[in-house]
Amino acid sequence: MDNENVCKPIDLEAHNSIYAPALEELSFNLNDLLGNLPCTHGDDDDNTTALCLPNEIWIMIFKRLSHGDLLQVNLVCKEWCQLARTTVLKRTSTLVINKQNVNDIYHLMEDSSLNYEKVMIDDLLDEFTNVEQAVLLKIFKHLGSNIVELTVYRLSTLSAINDVLPKLKELYLGKVRSKENVPVNFNKFSNLEGLLMPLYNQALLSSLNQMSRLRLEKLSLTLDCLHQGYFDLLSMCAQSLRWLQLSIPTKVNSTTLIRLQETFTKVSQLERLDICAVGNTECRRAILENLPKEAPLKALNFRLGEDHDLLELIVRKWSNSLECLTLTCHKLTRNSVEQLSFLSGRLRCLCLYSIRTGPKDLLHSIAPKINKTLTELKLNFPIPAVALFSVLIQRLPNLTTLYLLGHTSNITDEEIGYIFRYLTHLRKLSLPPCVGKNNIKYLCSKPNISNLKGLRTLASCLCPIRVLHIINVDFQFKDLSQLHLHDCNRNKRLTQMFLDIGRYLPALEVLWADMFDNNDVQKIRESCPRLRRAFQYRRMF
* pLDDT tens figures, 177-200: 878 888 888 888 989 999 999 887
pLDDT at 522 over 80: no
44-53, 114-123, 406-415, 422-431 — which one is most confidently predicted on average? 422-431
pLDDT of amino acid 227: 73
More confident residue, 441 or 515: 441
Which of 369, 375, 411 is CA-nearest to residue 394? 369
Is pLDDT above 90 for 288?
yes
Torsion on CA atoms 132, 135, 136, 139, rounded to nearest 10: -160
pLDDT at 111: 60
Predicted pLDDT of residue 214: 81
Helix count and strand count (H, E) for the chain: 22, 22
Residue 169: pLDDT above 50? Answer: yes
Q: Which of 275-284, 286-295, 306-315, 355-364 is the least confident region?
A: 355-364
Q: What is the DSSP letter of 432?
A: P
Confidence of residue 407 (pLDDT cuts 50, 70, 90): low
pTM, two decimals, is 0.80
379 to each of 6, 356, 376, 538, how far by Cα in Å?
A: 37, 11, 10, 23
**Predicted local confidence at residue 66, as pLDDT:** 64
Which residue(s) pair with 326 in the sheet? 301, 351
Strand partners, 97: 121
CA dihedral over 247, 165, 238, 323, signed as positive or negative: negative
Q: Are 143 and 135 in contact (CB under 8 A)?
A: no
CA dist 24 → 311, 352, 374, 414 (Å): 27, 20, 10, 27
Above 90 in pLDDT, residue 274? yes
pLDDT value, residue 347: 95
Distance (Å, whole) CA 356 – CA 343: 19
Give the model confidence (pLDDT) of 62-118 as tens digits: 777 766 677 677 778 888 887 776 766 666 678 889 999 999 888 887 665 677 889
pLDDT band at 436 (very low <50, low <70, confident <90, very high): low
pLDDT, tens digit (0-9, with 9 covering 90-100), for 307-330 = 778 999 999 999 999 999 999 887
User: What is the pLDDT, as a whole number, of residue 51?
Assistant: 60
pLDDT value of residue 14: 36
Q: Give whichever of 38-47, 186-195, 433-442 has the largest mean pLDDT.
A: 186-195
Cβ within 8 Å of residue 28, ≥6 positions away: 61, 64
User: Among 19-33, 431-445, 458-472, where is mean pLDDT lowest?
Assistant: 19-33
Domain boundaries, the chain: 54-92
CB 193 within 8 A of CB 216: yes
Amino acid at 530: R
d(CA 394, CA 293): 35
pLDDT at residue 251 greater than cutoff 70? yes
State the pLDDT confidence band at 536, using cuts at 50, 70 and 90: low
Name the percent of the chain lying above pLDDT 70: 81
- Helix H or strand E segment including 152: strand 149-152
Distance, CA of 220 to chain centre: 16
Largest CA distance in the chain: 85
Predicted pLDDT of residue 136: 94
pLDDT at 146: 86
At 301 the pLDDT is 96
Amino acid, single-letter form, for residue 490: R
Averaged confidence pLDDT in the chain: 81
